[in-house]
Amino acid sequence: MAYKKAAFQLPFGVLNIAREPVDVRYGPYTGIGTASGEVFHVDSPIPTDGNRYEGLTVGIIVAGKVVEYWFESGIADADLVIKTVGGGGGTPPGGAAGNYVSAMPNSMAVPITHGGIVAGTLVSALTNRPMSEIIDEILFPTVLASIKTAASVSATITPAAKKVEVGANVNVSATPSFTQGLIKNGDGTNGPKLVGPATAYKLLIKGAIEATNTDGAPLAVTYVAEYGANLAKVVVDYSAGTGAYKDNKNNTGTNLDASRASGSVNSNSVTYTGVHYMFMGQDQPFATSANLRAMDKVLLNSGDVVPGYLLPVLTTTAHSVVIAFPANKTLASVLLVESSDANVTGTFHKENDVNVILPNGTSVAYNVYKATLTSSYATTVHYKIKIT
């Protein structure tokens, strides 16, 4: 058999005991890929002229392993490319069958997310990983467990939101319903409860605990209304969640551990607005708390308007109308509806203050204003009164 260009033939075998490649052009060389390093150094044994040929294979040490490159289709620097399986044989990338080694520098980052390979992953993090593992990660990314429903508490709180006189009793009751929440495993199946069972149920009004139990039974309290917003709600304390949850590859998860710690959760709320009465009367005594509390009255906040206080038919003169309200407020206006909202505020004159006794036994100073009518009315009329 004749071999093309065979210049030297031996009729016997040769034992090569050299501990390095016979062809010094093989290397191996250091440097990342072919972009830099010894392979193209001025002292390299493979200069362009006379030493390179198509098919020449060299070894370059990448990530501690020899990776084979070859001059695939020319002898220029750019023709030196990595040998790949099916691309002329040789050693697969990484020097170990099926492992990944990129021709890109270790510092290069993946520009966009591909499945489980997220944007920003460096080449160095992928180097020497089995190719099958990388492909699986792209096609079948890990799906972590998630919170399907959060821990929550709802409460039926009675009475409904309303205005109430400062110092009056409000009989508040609340029936709570606590849900521990649920985890969804990465494969979509239901996992364990998110948090542990309730350890305490508390009825709070204006931030203070008014009633508590551990079994979730209805909570009740008789509360003395304070001025302003008296917000009622239920707070449930709960223990930490237990039980393993999984990702879509059946690995035990840890990503929800912080959400499973013991804690508390608030219910919906109801607000009882504590306000004072405004008292209104006609031809009535007004010197005492009892006198004022016997009059017509309306609960109001600052700026409220009493749109239709009824003044009965008065057929004689010298009748009086009295308006009383807390001393920290001001009589803004009194309008006579049947006279096209004529302003009659100037007909009211301040009398002596009266301390009005509240339902809880405390008292609050009231301004008292009186108007004496100098003419009679032939029909029922209304006053529109505004307090600020």
Lowest mean pLDDT among 18-32, 36-50, 265-279: 36-50
CA 192 → CA 182, 187, 349, distances in Å?
Answer: 6, 14, 72
User: Which residues lie closer than 8 Å to 70 by C-beta, 6 or more apart?
Assistant: 55, 56, 57, 58, 80, 81, 83, 88, 90
What does the pLDDT average to over 237-249? 97
pLDDT recorded at residue 40: 66
pLDDT recorded at residue 31: 62
Lowest mean pLDDT among 123-132, 139-148, 353-362: 123-132
Report whether 42 contacts 10 (CB < 8 A).
Answer: no
pLDDT at 246 > cutoff 90: yes
CA 176 → CA 155, 214, 235, 270, distances in Å?
Answer: 4, 11, 9, 13
pLDDT class for 2, splitting at 50, 70, 90? low
Q: Can you tell me the distance from the alpha carbon of 301 to that of 276, in angstroms, rounded to the nearest whole number?
A: 8
pLDDT class for 350, splitting at 50, 70, 90? very high
pLDDT recorded at residue 7: 63
pLDDT in tens, 194-229: 999 999 999 999 999 999 999 999 999 999 999 999
pLDDT at 121 > cutoff 60: yes
pLDDT class for 313, splitting at 50, 70, 90? very low
pLDDT recorded at residue 87: 45
Instruction: State if pTM tops 0.75.
Output: no
Lowest mean pLDDT among 33-42, 325-334, 378-387: 33-42
pLDDT recorded at residue 285: 87
Higher pLDDT, 60 or 146: 146
